[in-house]
Chain A
Amino acid sequence: MSSKPSHTNPKEAGSRSLFSTLMRSMSASSVNMSSHHNNSNANRTHDIMLKTNNSAAAIPGKSDSHKSSTSNSSSRAASTNGINVSTSTFSTKNSSSKSLLHSHTSGKHSKKKKYEDYSEDWSATVDDYSVPVKDNDFLINEVRSSTHLSRTDSQGNLAKILSTTSSTTGNQLPKTKTLTEDEEINYSLERENEKELQKLNSKLSKISRFDDILKTSNNTINLSELRKVSWNGVPISHRPLVWKLLIGYLPANKRRHETLLERKRNEYQMGIEHMFSGKHQRDQSTWHQIEIDIPRTNPHIKLYQFKSVQDSLQKILYYWAIRHPASGYVQGINDLVTPFFQTFLTEYLPEKKLDMVEVLDPQDYLTTEQFVQVEADSFWCLTKFLDTIIDNYIHGQPAILKQVSNLESLCKRIDVDLYQHLQNENVQFLQFAFRWMNCLLMRELPMSIVIRMWDTYLAETSSDEDLEDETLSPTMESLNISALGGNTSSLFESSLRGSKGQFKKNDLTQKAPTSTNSAASSSMKRRTSLSEFHVFVCAAFLENWANVLLQMDFQGIITFLQNVPTTTWGEKEIEILLSEAFMWQTLYKDATSHWL
Chain B
Amino acid sequence: MSSRKKNILKVIILGDSGVGKTSLMQRYVNGKYSQQYKATIGADFLTKEVILEEDEESGNQGAGNFASATAGDSNNVKSNKKTATLQVWDTAGQERFQSLGVAFYRGADCCVLVYDVTNQKSFEHLANWRDEFLLHANISSPETFPFIILGNKIDVDDSKKQVSTRQAQEFARNFSADVASSASDNNSFGVPLFFTSAKGDLNVDAAFQKIAKSALQQNQYDMENNAFDDEEFNDAINIHLDNGAGSCQC
Asked whether A and B interact, the reply is yes
For the complex, give the distance between the alpha carbons of A559 and B47 in Å.
8
Q: Are B103 and A331 in contact (CB under 8 A)?
A: no
Contact (A295, B35) CB under 8 Å given A396-B99, A397-B96: yes
B41 to chain A minimum Cβ distance, whole angstroms, is: 4
Enumerate A390-406 residues with CB–CB distance to B below 8 Å: 393, 395-397, 401
- Which residues of A have CB within 8 Å of B94? 289, 330-331
- Give the complex CA separation of A395 and B99 in angstroms: 8
Determine if B103 and A435 form an interchain contact, defined as CB atoms under 8 angstroms apart: no
Contacts A428-B103, A430-B100, A431-B103 known; A555 to B38 CB distance under 8 Å? no
The answer to whether B85 and A296 touch across the interface, beta carbons within 8 angstroms, is: no
Q: Which B1-58 residues sit within 8 Å CB-CB of chain A?
A: 17-18, 35-45, 47
A584 to B94, CA, bound (A): 34
Contact of A431 among B38, B45, B99 (CB under 8 A): B45
- Contact call B44/A562, Cβ cutoff below 8 A: yes
Q: Are B103 and A293 in contact (CB under 8 A)?
A: no
Q: Which residues of A contact B39 (CB under 8 A)?
A: 292-293, 296, 331-332, 334
B87: Cβ under 8 A from any A Cβ: yes
Contact indicator per residue, chain A 285-318, by CB within 8 Å of chain B (1) or not (0): 0000100110111111000000000000000000
The answer to whether A438 has its CB under 8 Å from any CB of chain B is yes
Complex Cα–Cα for A439 and B104 (A): 19
Give the docked Cα–Cα distance between A292 and B42 (Å). 17
B47 & A431 in contact (Cβ 8 Å cutoff): no
Determine the chain B residues whose CB is within 8 A of the CB of A450 once the complex forms. Answer: none
Q: Which residues of chain B have C-beta atoms less than 8 A from A332's C-beta?
A: 39, 41
Residues of B contacting A292 with CB < 8 Å? 17-18, 39
Q: Please tell me if A443 contacts chain B, counting CB pairs below 8 Å.
A: yes
B residues near A299, Cβ cutoff 8 Å: 35-38
Q: Give the size of the chain B interface in residues (CB under 8 angstroms).
A: 24
Q: How far apart sit A393 and B94, CA to CA, in the bound complex (Å)?
A: 12
The answer to whether A434 has its CB under 8 Å from any CB of chain B is yes
- In the complex, what distance in Å separates the CA atom of A157 from the CA atom of B99? 53
Cα A300 to Cα B96 in complex, Å, equals 26
Bound complex: CA of A371 vs CA of B45, how far in Å? Answer: 39
CB-based contact B41/A296 at 8 Å: no
Across-interface contacts of A297 in B (CB, < 8 A)? 38
Q: Is A354 an interface residue (CB 8 A)?
A: no
Q: Is B92 part of the contact surface with A, judged by Cβ < 8 Å? A: yes
Chain A residue nearest to B8 (CB atoms) is: A555
B233: Cβ under 8 A from any A Cβ: no
B49 to chain A minimum Cβ distance, whole angstroms, is 11
What is the number of residues of chain A that contact chain B, defined by CB distance less than 8 Å?
32
CB distance from A304 to the nearest CB of B (A): 11
Contact A393 B96 (CB under 8 A): yes
- CB contacts under 8 Å to B, within A78-99, are none
**Which residues of B from 102 to 157 have beta carbons under 8 Å from A?**
103-104
- Asked if A366 is at the interface (CB within 8 A of a chain B CB), the reply is no
A558 at interface, CB cutoff 8 A: yes
- Docked Cα-Cα span, A435 to B91, in Å, equals 12
Chain A residues within an 8 Å CB radius of B96 = 328, 330-331, 393, 395, 397
Q: Mark A329-360, 1 if CB is under 8 A from B, else 0.
A: 01110110000000000000000000000000
Distance (whole angstroms) from the CB of B13 to the closest CB of chain A: 15
Tell me the residues in window 368-408 of chain A with beta carbons closer than 8 Å to chain B beta carbons.
Answer: 393, 395-397, 401
Q: Considering only CB atoms, which chain B residue lies closest to A335 in the complex? A: B38
Residues of B within 8 A of A331 (CB): 17, 39-41, 92, 94, 96-97
CB-defined contacts of B100 to chain A, threshold 8 Å: 397, 430, 434
Find A558's partner among B17, B18, B45 (CB 8 Å cutoff).
B45
Q: Which residues of chain B come closer than 8 Å to A300, judged between CB atoms?
A: 36
Residues of A within 8 A of B97 (CB): 331, 397
CB contact list, B62-95 vs A, under 8 A: 85, 87, 92, 94
The reply to whether B41 and A438 form a contact with Cβ atoms under 8 Å apart is yes
- Determine the chain A residues whose CB is within 8 A of the CB of B43 once the complex forms: 431, 434
Chain A residue at minimal CB-CB distance from B18? A292
With A438-B42, A562-B44, A562-B45 given, is the CB distance from A555 to B85 under 8 Å?
yes
A554 CB to nearest B CB, Å: 8
Residue contact A435 to B42, C-beta cutoff 8 Å: yes
Contact between B99 and A397, CB atoms less than 8 A apart? yes
With known contacts A393-B96, A430-B100, A555–B47 Cβ distance under 8 A: yes
Per-residue interface assignment for chain A, residues 416 to 455, with 1 indicating a CB less than 8 Å from any chain B CB and 0 otherwise? 0000000000001011001100110001000000000000
Report the bound CA distance from A70 to B45 in whole Å: 30
Which residues of the other chain, B, contact A330 by a CB distance below 8 angstroms? 94, 96
Query: Looking at B37, B38, B85, B97, which has the most chain A CB atoms within 10 Å of its CB?
Result: B38
In the assembled complex, how far is the CB of residue A129 from the closest CB belonging to chain B, in whole angstroms? 41
Complex CA distance for A334 and B94, rounded to whole angstroms:
13
Q: Contact at A296–B47, with CB atoms within 8 Å? A: no
CB pair A296 B99 closer than 8 Å:
no
* B98 (CB) vs chain A CBs: closest residue: A396
Known: A289-B94, A292-B17, A430-B103. A435 touches B47 (CB 8 A): no
The reply to whether A555 and B87 form a contact with Cβ atoms under 8 Å apart is yes
- Most-contacted residue by chain A among B37, B39, B47, B100 (CB, 10 A): B39
Contact B45 A559 (CB under 8 A): yes
Which of B18, B96, B100 counts the most A-chain CB atoms under 10 A from its CB? B96
A432 to chain B, nearest CB (A): 8
* Nearest A residue to B46, CB-CB: A559
Q: Which residues of B contact A296 (CB under 8 A)?
A: 36-39
Bound form: Cα–Cα A435–B103 in Å: 13
- In angstroms, Cα B92 to Cα A397, docked, is 14
Question: Min CB distance, A441 to chain B, in Å?
Answer: 11
Q: Identify the closest chain A residue to B85 (Cβ).
A: A555
Q: Find chain B residues with CB under 8 A from A298 CB.
A: 38
Q: Which residues of A contact B18 (CB under 8 A)?
A: 292
Of A289, A293, A434, the contact of B42 (CB 8 Å cutoff):
A434
Chain A residues with Cβ below 8 Å from B42 are 430-431, 434-435, 438
Interface residues of B in 205-226 (CB under 8 A from A): none
Pairs across A and B, CB under 8 Å, 29 listed: A289-B17, A289-B94, A292-B18, A296-B38, A296-B39, A299-B35, A299-B37, A299-B38, A328-B96, A330-B94, A330-B96, A331-B92, A331-B97, A332-B39, A332-B41, A335-B38, A393-B96, A395-B96, A396-B99, A397-B96, A397-B99, A401-B99, A434-B100, A435-B41, A438-B42, A555-B47, A555-B87, A559-B45, A562-B44
Which 8 interchain pairs have the tightest Cβ spacing?
Answer: A434-B42, A299-B36, A430-B103, A292-B18, A435-B41, A558-B45, A435-B42, A396-B99
